[in-house]
Structure 1
Amino acid sequence: MSIKVKKLSSISPLGQLGKFKENPLAFLDELKETDSDIAQFRIANRKVHLVMNPDFIKDILETRAAGYRQSSKFDELKPLLGEGLITSEDPKHKEQRKKMAPLFTKEHMKSYRLKMIGTSEQFYSQQREGEWNLSDVMMELSLACLSRTILGMDLAETKEKIGAPLYQILEVGTKRIQSLLKAPLSFKVGEIKAYASAIDELNKTVDEVILVRNEKNYSPYDFLKMLLEACEGNRLQARNEIMTMLLSGHETTANWITWCLYAICQNEDVKQNLYREVDHVAGRNKLTPAMLERLTYSKKVLNESLRLYPPQWMLGRTAVNDLTYGGYTIQKGDIALLSPYVMHRHPKFYPDPLKFKPERFQEGIPKDVPDFAFFPFGGGARGCIGNHFAFQEALIILSMFIQKFDIQLVDENRIVPEPFITLRVKDGLRGEVWKR
């Protein structure tokens, strides 16, 4: 097999680190334009390979996944997440995933949808017209849906007991993930002290929910009951998985919906089609699970948003031994970068890639797009176990927003993507929102 490789050279001891940190998306976009299968560069003393061939990406995430370990960036969050699904490695990860998988079946999803619908209905009914920071609003609602579904907590409890400490953890944790030089976590002063305090507070809240839950009130599809059973009564492991879902699940979904609202406001035809569908299917009636099945255009809009603005914009894997692709070797200790942001915007796979076109997704993933040219939830054994959960949540939150509100963005020309743990809108997406 003949493969195209672009090798970047640098005389700096830090290699391409400066350019990468200054504007990661622009740096990756520039490499994409080389039309190479792999772009090789250096960050300090580490050799990095941006993989842009879908077959190679599949090999890394699925076929020879055992030859790589995941990025260590989430190690900064281990004080909160422990050995949850994000941070654990095989064989523990494989065992955990097998136990957790039954919680995300279609039958279970039906029960979860009812809780998400009820939470969203209550949340939106409390919102006033005016200028919203849509990023913040979607963060709050996404977290509320998760907390209601997995912990049985109401809106007020979530905001006070979950939201406040979790956002403190995210703020400090994100800074530490992005920083090369940082004080050890044992040095508990300043923001590290606040970080540790927020983790303790959140741990205490979740432990109390687990401890005081009355088993007589369990429904057949109660998430926490099933989680405790999956963890064989190990409350610490159950807490780790809950923290993993709260941290990773709510932020990715919230940013997904935020970018989706931005995209539809930039495309008037898409916006009008979306409003027409929701009005036709739901009207002024309360949203139901049966209605969700009929929101076919809304699902296309969500998929196209995932394509153009994937919250999980980059994945990193470190080779644990030498691995060869068509004569090209990724050596032990090298980093393989896999970027949904790059692949989803690649002109080789998507004609007119920067145009927002929901019709690309007529029946799921476009038939002419190869596997792993679209992978917003990762893939393989480490792919997002809650992808269907997230899609249902996003569909409910978006369609109910469309049903209840109209929107016009404020200063939309200033919108800039901010690639942190997830792909955010820098300084938040602001819009004038009024009831329909």
Structure 2
Amino acid sequence: MSSPPDRSALQVPGPSGLTLALTLRDFARGPIPMIEGLQERFGDVSRFRFAGNTMWQFGDPELIEVVMLRKAGDFIKDQITHELDDLVGQGLLTSDGELWRRQRKLAAPTLQRRHIQAYAEAMVRLTRAMIETWGDQADRKFHHDSMELTLRIVVKTLFNLEMEHEIDRIGRAVEDGMDAFHERVHTMWRFIKTYVDPPLQPVHERAVETLDDVLGDLIRERQRDQSPGDDLLLRLIQARDDEGHAMSDRQLRDEAMTIFLAGHETTALAITYALYLLANHPGAQQRVHDELDHRGGALGANAANDLPYLKGVAQEALRLYPPAWIVGREAAVDVKVGPWHVEKGDQVMIPTFVVHRNERFFDDPLRFMPSRWLDGLEKRLPRFAYLPFGGGPRVCIGNHFAMMELVLVLATILERYRVEDLSESVVGLDPSVTLRPKGDVPLRFVRRW
């Protein structure tokens, strides 16, 4: 005898009729209005059919925990993530199953706290080199600056190279390559299935080829010369699984590309949004300056602990403007998420941007308030109410690296400069693979001493 149908699947709130029309109107305005509209109209759970897919949105931390932790093995990466396959291959960001488990076990130790502390000096030094050119006052298109800075930092830490002669070529290739995939996601927003997969344009194909050439040369050179060093690439080359096997050349390329890109744009975005927020909140900025002025000793790997208010600024910027603004999964099997029956192939959206702005978890959620993090808020929050780096077994392995870099770059800039906002309106958002600003972010830096 067959089991009775799961009636809970028929009771899921979600758009239909007029509310579906409103949801599609929101979608036409952009993905953030859509996910905000779903949360506003239907609460923490919604489901709807569109373009051949069943779409779910889960905004409840308990349900998010089921998807990302307790039943993580029942979900795989979603369709939109696989739009990055042409660029990052089968690295940790896009792979699933046994390949992902093996690669995670090999790669994760390279970014443990004890290894990344050696990179603090380079982060500070490269940031100081950038601001040395600013003089007493500088008007900057700062997102461009932060992208170039984090590129230099990731090249140094991943390859132990300064590569001044290559930085422009690599920078253009990275920018063109990421633009290609932002463009593809804009075209499809492939949390929703479409039937045309736009091909890469020639400029974007050349960008991928350039990055492949550069990474290939660097990997081969490091394989030949394995002299001691602190670079991440050497640790990846020397990593061995339980059977003593190393990564293949292709796996090395894919993991290096994943670290290269994931450690570049996302951190640059966080730095940009943090400075933009401080420029618009002079009281908070003054408190950062006071904390820096009373700090003793040089900036180092423990800056996040030594500068609690500045760390709160970083956490608050990641709350309001999470670079990974949404997390996508696809059900690999039929699975229960709380009382809801999610069928194999259903697309699941975890709207980090919306969860981070939920008044159930954060007082006055739209307000920039770094001090909220100073009294143990993170420990009191539901486990998946704050997830700037994801969560569960697929949490970003570079989270400690990213937080150290974010605090050190902010501290290095703000100990010397005051920042002012030159934009004429609130920064617009351009969500795609990451939460980019719409256009650049014009900021003025005025020397403090």
Pair in the same fold by TM > 0.5: yes
Provide the residue aligned with 1:20 in structure 2: 27
The alignment-based identity, stated in percent, is 30
Amino acid across the alignment from 2:69: E
Structure 1 148/83 Cα, relative in aligned 2: closer, same or farther at 3 Å?
Answer: same
Deviations 1:289-309 (A, max 9, x none): 355541111111111111111
Provide the residue aligned with 1:345 in structure 2: 357
CA distance in 2, matches of 1:332, 1:183: 22
Do 2:120 and 2:404's aligned partners in 1 also have CA atoms closer than 8 Å? yes
The reply on whether 1:335 has 2:335 as its aligned counterpart is: no
TM-score (norm 1): 0.91
Structure 1 152/367 Cα, relative in aligned 2: closer, same or farther at 3 Å?
Answer: closer
Shift of 1:160: 2.1
Structural mapping, 1:85-234, within 5 Å:
85-128=92-135, 129-154=137-162, 156-157=164-165, 159-180=167-188, 185=199, 192-213=201-222, 215=225, 217-219=227-229, 221-230=230-239, 232=246, 234=248
Provide the residue aligned with 1:259 in structure 2: 273
Shift of 1:144: 1.0
Do 1:17 and 1:43's aligned partners in 2 also have CA atoms closer than 8 Å? no
Amino acid across the alignment from 2:225: E
CA distance in 2, matches of 1:39, 1:133: 39
Give unpaired runs (5+ residues) of structure 1: 186-190
Deviations 1:72-96 (A, max 9, x none): 2232332221111111111100110
How many residue pairs are counted as aligned between the two chains?
427
CA distance in 1, matches of 2:441, 2:348: 32
TM-score (norm 2): 0.88
Among 257, 266, 275, the alignment partner of 2:289 is 275
Provide the residue aligned with 1:319 in structure 2: 331
Provide the residue aligned with 2:311 in structure 1: 299
Shift of 1:271: 0.9
Shift of 1:363: 5.4
The reply on whether 1:410 has 2:422 as its aligned counterpart is: yes
Structure 1 155/358 Cα, relative in aligned 2: closer, same or farther at 3 Å?
Answer: farther
Deviations 1:296-347 (A, max 9, x none): 1111111111111111110111112222244321222211110111111111
Amino acid across the alignment from 2:290: R
Query: 1:126 aligns to what SS in structure 2?
Result: coil
Do 1:5 and 1:37's aligned partners in 2 also have CA atoms closer than 8 Å? no
Deviations 1:198-227 (A, max 9, x none): 1111111112122223736422x3322111
Query: 2:362 aligns to what SS in structure 1?
Result: coil
Query: 1:321 aligns to what SS in structure 2?
Result: coil
Query: 2:289 aligns to what SS in structure 1?
Result: helix
Structure 1 81/380 Cα, relative in aligned 2: closer, same or farther at 3 Å?
Answer: same
Provide the residue aligned with 2:79 in structure 1: 72
Shift of 1:349: 1.2
The reply on whether 1:428 has 2:440 as its aligned counterpart is: yes
Shift of 1:193: 1.6
Structure 1 52/76 Cα, relative in aligned 2: closer, same or farther at 3 Å?
Answer: closer
Amino acid across the alignment from 1:205: V
Give unpaired runs (5+ residues) of structure 2: 1-7, 189-194, 241-245
Structure 1 390/156 Cα, relative in aligned 2: closer, same or farther at 3 Å?
Answer: same
Structure 1 149/127 Cα, relative in aligned 2: closer, same or farther at 3 Å?
Answer: farther
Amino acid across the alignment from 2:68: L
